[in-house]
Amino acid sequence: MIWWILLAVVVAGAVFALRGRAAAPSRKLAPRTGSRGASAAANPPGRGKAPSEAIDDYRGTMLFPQKDCCEAVLRLRGRTFAEHHAPTLPVPGCDREACGCKLHQVIGRRRGPRRLVPDRRDDVRFKEDRRQGKDRRSGVDVWK
């Protein structure tokens, strides 16, 4: 009897997992094109965001090497670059006659501010600050 219950739970869990996976929208990466506006204009009308809003979703680029790629691309595999720091294709040092590697745009995953309240430390402290005298640091926010 316990085996039938266990089997029913496993089957129900598998069905639930497969339904959740099929219902979840897939996040496909759009291939990078020469200009920023061209990639957003490639979206079919009536689907997705307006072209002016769609550009803001992309936060960087990732290099996808092909099967027979060069050593220079293998060193960059898996790295995400800011849009203004993305390498040009073919990358410097590429020894292939026809480079088949592609740059894909990476979608930003943040949907809002990560902190809703700027600072909670003052709410947690029970005593006043005990610091006395002036600050001994050489300057305020001097980072070298």
Which residues lie closer than 8 Å to 75 by C-beta, 6 or more apart? none
Decide if pLDDT at 109 tops 50. yes
DSSP codes joined into one string, 69-82:
--HHHHHHTT-EE-
Question: How much is the pLDDT for 88?
Answer: 83
E strands in the chain? 58-64, 80-81, 102-107
9 compared with 35, residue with greater pLDDT: 9
Closest listed residue to residue 32, CA positions, set 88, 78, 77: 88
pTM, to two decimals: 0.35
Q: In what order do the strands lie in the sheet with 102-107?
A: 80-81, 58-64, 102-107
Question: How much is the pLDDT for 8?
Answer: 92
Of 12-21, 30-39, 76-85, 129-138, least confident by mean pLDDT is 30-39
Which amino acid, one-letter code, is at 25?
P
Per-residue pLDDT, averaged over 28-46, amounts to 46
Of 28-37, 100-109, 128-137, least confident by mean pLDDT is 28-37
- The single-letter DSSP state of residue 31 is B
Decide if pLDDT at 49 tops 70. no
